[in-house]
Structure 1
Amino acid sequence: MATEVRVPTLGESVTEATVATWFKKPGDSVAVDEMLCELETDKVTVEVPAPAAGVLAEIVAAEGETVGVDALLAQIDESGKGAASGDGGKDDAAPDDDAPARDAPAQDAPAKTSQEGQKKMSGKSIEVMVPSLGESVSEATVATWFKHVGDEVAADEMLCELETDKVSVEVPAPAAGVLAEILAEEGTTVDAKAQLAVITQGAAGGTSAGKSAPEPEAAGDGDDDDAGDVGSPGAGPEETRPREDVEDAPSAKKAMAEKNISRDQVTGSGKDGRVMKEDVAKAKSGGGTSGGESKAPAKKAPAASDQAGREERVKMTRLRQTIARRLKDAQNTAAMLTTYNEADMKAVMDLRSEYKDQFEKKHGVKLGFMSFFVKACCHALQEVPEVNAEIDGTEVVYKHYVNMGVAVGTPQGLVVPVVKDADQKSFAAIEKEIGELGKKGRDGKLTMAEMQGGTFTISNGGVYGSLMSSPILNPPQSGILGMHKIQERPMVVGGEIVIRPMMYLALSYDHRIVDGKGAVTFLVRVKEALEDPRRLLMDL
């Protein structure tokens, strides 16, 4: 008897979905409610369970296909006779056929699995080395492994992520095969020429190398295999199955990789604790655990008193350590001083309102405030070049160009990508580059080259609601401008009190080479350019 597997209800206003992943192939035995495949809509990820027990006889909608509600996905043969024919004529002893591992008695499974794993892991060994870390960077810390030993990998698929003092570096697979060995575990510090792992080229993933053969639902454990029971005293073989045996949703793996979230930071709401795409989103936004289970933080210090659970000790990332060290060095080294002023933003806001639609239509990017500030600073630096200089020993190095650093807040910490030769670029070019660099910064994709060579920095605390602050210098630069929240305030204009959109500006500078007169002049020129943007066109 054949049972149809159809697309379930996708939710209000959702009419179609894409078949993301099939977790079973034709000929595989399936249990009632065992997950067959995963569908992705523009809002959520939907799991499709088996409506009946039997053998998956046919897959009608392959991965990547778009299907509508109630569309036919597959056929299940409840008689179970399709098991032999569904393999497409494969030999039962073939290394990639895991059906014997499921059908064999439990006591024979380990030996069978071990033999298959040895066959599958045979092949040429490829070393995975630390990639180029950039100029002056000699070591890195292994932050996250996205693959486990025994996992199949494709060429250029991301294996792990390294953290350096400045950026995160992704390590791609140099060849397709199986991850045979991990030599540098998470948290290990490695030098620029270290070996990270070994890939067996041309091999197929073996169940003995990190994933056990899936057990049918009828084995007796059902849905009792909770993540919270892993490693509990007296647990049977099924209960002690390590958490990495649960295959997370591919969309979730991709999301974790893109958002730089480790598996330990996410609690799965899927079957057997499986991580789904929405679980990653909840972890990213600080939504806590996504399932009914509670899980202790992976890096929490061991409980030593009744206070356990009320505190958490987490090692600082290399990026955060570097930020802390550099900011403190700036305070210890530079004679840092801050001067303030305020700017009436009405002229800029009116100009944006008048031309924003035409600007976006022509250049394909929105006209923001940042390009006005970059242009205003470049203009002011021409008049006060010492703010664009740096100290090198007993010499002052004056820069006859402006590489504008734009501070970007990310989940990992503050990073400062650099817009090179900003003084030579148009408003549109500046807006495009800032947008691209900001996205890379938030996604952890910035390269070393994109963060080096800055001569002056702008930091916008206003996006977080800051009304006034004193920014800290970004060494070896001698100046940094702090932008703040635009707030309407009563101002006296022409002898009358009017409401104006005002912003406080703060310039922190190194008093060793920038005098007070130069700092105040710089800030006044920025204020004048913002309050009358026409001055930028006329070079006034």
Structure 2
Amino acid sequence: MEIKVPSVGESVYEALVGKWLKKNGEAVRKDEPVCEIETDKITMEIDAGADGVLTIMVPEGATVKIGSVIGIIAEGAAAAEAPPPSRPEAPKEAPPLSPAARKLAQEKGISPETVKGTGRGGRVTVDDLFAAGTGDRGPGTGKTEELLKVAAVESGEALAPAPPSSEGKGEAIAQGFSPTPGPRSPVPEGERVTRSPMTPIRKRIAERLLAARQQTAMLTTFNEADLGRVMELRKKYKEHFQKKHGVSLGFMSFFVKACVEALKEYPAVNGSIEGDDIVSHHYYHVGIAIGAEKGLVVPVLRDADRLSFAEIETAIAGFADKIKANRLELSDLQGGTFTISNGGVYGSLLSTPILNPPQSGVLGMHAVQERPVVRDGQIVARPMMYLALSYDHRIIDGREAVGFLKKVKEYVEEPEELFLEG
């Protein structure tokens, strides 16, 4: 049977063959993942449709159209009769050589493949070539001595420089030259820069981030929240919550609930612009930015206002599992009206989140840090978090943006009502 690239959405026309999980000629079982493909929106696995032997038709890194055949599975008897794929014998890899050692090998007619390298990373040194050619290294003179010096500098071997004479030192310094050579990079010259094409997802991320900066009037307002009450509630109910719902009680559910309530009071933050129209959404589909191996993805909590704390935490954990298993679907990413991004999980203390078009608002959470604050005239240490709201100033006025962020701050600083209702 044929392995085809599946359709993952109306706007997706091609995919990148990211990684084959099985080798050419290897036996596979039905429903076993055999390949990863990447589109400009998601990374997903393709499963085997039957038991058999895999024949790879398209190599990793190739871009193909949706519906293209990228592999074949020989089923049943055909699989048993299928001959193993021929694998050409790989040529013996030549050992790494310094330029001086390579030149010396050519002069002496020594094949580097027959010499065991003793330098760093198995590199064949000039000493190795002398030992292979003469059984010993004699005193070098003329050109050979110069080659030894070059090889010693390149491989880091000990060749102590002669102490500079006081007569020549002053002249060298006057001309701007150092009497001793500086350290050389351990990375070979040809490997100091690598170039690789962007994956479809990374291309899409780059396009959307650039569009957000060029096509919106983005502005950011900041505030900070005392997370003391939230942390107390988590500590008090965390064990019971875990036992009852099978999922941990995190910070995100508090912020989802707080944002939903704030969006109800400031509906412009939940809207968007389409052409010359302002689109007001009377539902709350909150996107949760999650860092994945291939890039940032934003799965959406649909109708977040109807979800309990447990349902929010369970849904987020489910998204994380889907991302790890490359099972995230295009429908998981569509339809968001507002986004929350938590840079604090990576240690970020303060940042400016970028809008996720066509949405008009994104909340940035950051690391919780003990900081001195004034409470009732006294300086005390409290667990504080900086909050950042980036918004499209074309649709959201500063008054609304500041008011929205202040509401979020108030809800997370006094979360009992949210928690009890949820």
Q: What's the CA shift for 1:205?
A: 6.6
> Match for residue 130 of structure 1?
5
Listed as ranges, the matches of 1:442-457 within 5 Å are 442-457=324-339
Partner amino acid, structure 2, of 1:516: G
The answer to whether residue 101 in structure 2 is matched with residue 232 in structure 1 is no
Partner amino acid, structure 2, of 1:133: V
1:379–1:536 CA contact under 8 A, matched in 2: no
> Match for residue 73 of structure 2?
199
Partner amino acid, structure 2, of 1:399: H
Q: What's the CA shift for 1:206?
A: 4.6
Query: Using the alignment, how far apart are the partners of 1:189 and 1:157 within structure 2?
Result: 23
Query: Using the alignment, how far apart are the partners of 1:137 and 1:364 within structure 2?
Result: 36
1:522/1:150 Cα in 2 relative to 1: closer, same or farther (>3 Å)?
A: same
SS in structure 1 at match of 2:10: coil
After superposition, give the CA deviation of every residue in 1:79-127 in whole Å (9 maximum; x if it has no partner): xxxxxxxxxxxxxxxxxxxxxxxxxxxxxxxxxxxxxxxxxxxxxxx22
Query: Using the alignment, how far apart are the partners of 2:256 and 2:81 within structure 1?
Result: 52
Query: Using the alignment, how far apart are the partners of 1:526 and 1:505 within structure 2?
Result: 9
Partner amino acid, structure 1, of 2:80: A
The answer to whether residue 3 in structure 2 is matched with residue 143 in structure 1 is no
Partner amino acid, structure 2, of 1:513: I
The answer to whether residue 349 in structure 2 is matched with residue 458 in structure 1 is no
Q: What's the CA shift for 1:210?
A: 4.2
Query: Using the alignment, how far apart are the partners of 1:175 and 1:537 within structure 2?
Result: 48
1:127/1:425 Cα in 2 relative to 1: closer, same or farther (>3 Å)?
A: same
> Match for residue 185 of structure 1?
59
SS in structure 2 at match of 1:501: strand
> Match for residue 239 of structure 2?
357
SS in structure 2 at match of 1:407: strand
Counterpart of 2:44 (choices 169, 179, 197) is: 169
> Match for residue 391 of structure 1?
273
Listed as ranges, the matches of 1:285-364 within 5 Å are 307-364=189-246
1:157/1:538 Cα in 2 relative to 1: closer, same or farther (>3 Å)?
A: closer
1:176/1:533 Cα in 2 relative to 1: closer, same or farther (>3 Å)?
A: same
Structure number with greater Rg is: 2
After superposition, give the CA deviation of every residue in 1:374-432 in whole Å (9 maximum; x if it has no partner): 00000000001111111111111111111111111122111111111111100111011
The answer to whether residue 404 in structure 2 is matched with residue 404 in structure 1 is no
After superposition, give the CA deviation of every residue in 1:487-534 in whole Å (9 maximum; x if it has no partner): 111111111111111110000001110110110010000000011113
Q: What's the CA shift for 1:177?
A: 2.0
Query: Using the alignment, how far apart are the partners of 1:421 and 1:329 within structure 2?
Result: 27
Larger relative contact order, structure 1 or 2 (CA cutoff 8 Å, min sep 6): 2
1:319–1:413 CA contact under 8 A, matched in 2: yes
> Match for residue 141 of structure 2?
none
> Match for residue 506 of structure 1?
388
Query: Using the alignment, how far apart are the partners of 1:351 and 1:538 within structure 2?
Result: 11
Counterpart of 1:421 (choices 288, 291, 303) is: 303
The answer to whether residue 85 in structure 2 is matched with residue 209 in structure 1 is yes
Q: What's the CA shift for 1:233?
A: 6.9
After superposition, give the CA deviation of every residue in 1:126-153 in whole Å (9 maximum; x if it has no partner): 2221112223211111111223332222
Query: Using the alignment, how far apart are the partners of 1:494 and 1:442 within structure 2?
Result: 47
Query: Using the alignment, how far apart are the partners of 1:489 and 1:199 within structure 2?
Result: 61
Q: What's the CA shift for 1:306?
A: 5.8
After superposition, give the CA deviation of every residue in 1:248-270 in whole Å (9 maximum; x if it has no partner): xxxxxxxxxxxxxxxxxxxxxxx
Query: Using the alignment, how far apart are the partners of 1:516 and 1:481 within structure 2?
Result: 15
> Match for residue 35 of structure 2?
160
Partner amino acid, structure 2, of 1:197: G
1:128–1:195 CA contact under 8 A, matched in 2: yes
Q: What's the CA shift for 1:363?
A: 1.6
Long gaps (5+) in structure 2: 95-186
Partner amino acid, structure 2, of 1:338: T
Query: Using the alignment, how far apart are the partners of 2:36 and 2:394 within structure 1?
Result: 40
1:152–1:205 CA contact under 8 A, matched in 2: no
Query: Using the alignment, how far apart are the partners of 2:26 and 2:238 within structure 1?
Result: 50
Listed as ranges, the matches of 1:82-101 within 5 Å are none
SS in structure 1 at match of 2:229: helix
SS in structure 1 at match of 2:370: strand
Q: Compute the RMSD of aligned alpha carbons.
A: 2.1
Query: Using the alignment, how far apart are the partners of 1:378 and 1:448 within structure 2?
Result: 24
Listed as ranges, the matches of 1:31-110 within 5 Å are none
2:263–2:404 CA contact under 8 A, matched in 1: yes
2:254–2:419 CA contact under 8 A, matched in 1: no
Q: What's the CA shift for 1:207?
A: 5.0
Query: Using the alignment, how far apart are the partners of 2:393 and 2:300 within structure 1?
Result: 24
Partner amino acid, structure 1, of 2:3: V
1:377/1:210 Cα in 2 relative to 1: closer, same or farther (>3 Å)?
A: farther
2:225–2:412 CA contact under 8 A, matched in 1: yes
1:307/1:518 Cα in 2 relative to 1: closer, same or farther (>3 Å)?
A: same
Partner amino acid, structure 2, of 1:231: P
After superposition, give the CA deviation of every residue in 1:36-64 in whole Å (9 maximum; x if it has no partner): xxxxxxxxxxxxxxxxxxxxxxxxxxxxx
Q: Which sits farther off after the overlay, 438-447 or 392-401?
A: 438-447
Q: What's the CA shift for 1:174?
A: 2.1
SS in structure 2 at match of 1:433: helix
Q: What's the CA shift for 1:189?
A: 1.4
Query: Using the alignment, how far apart are the partners of 1:146 and 1:357 within structure 2?
Result: 39
Percentage identity across paired residues of the two chains: 54
Q: What's the CA shift for 1:211?
A: 6.3
SS in structure 2 at match of 1:308: helix
SS in structure 2 at match of 1:209: coil
Partner amino acid, structure 2, of 1:398: S
Long gaps (5+) in structure 1: 1-125, 213-228, 235-304
Query: Using the alignment, how far apart are the partners of 1:141 and 1:374 within structure 2?
Result: 34
Query: Using the alignment, how far apart are the partners of 2:19 and 2:81 within structure 1?
Result: 21
How many residue pairs get matched? Answer: 327
Q: Which sits farther off after the overlay, 505-514 or 144-153?
A: 144-153
SS in structure 1 at match of 2:214: helix
Q: What's the CA shift for 1:188?
A: 1.7
SS in structure 1 at match of 2:25: coil
Determine which structure has the larger helix proportion and give its number: 2
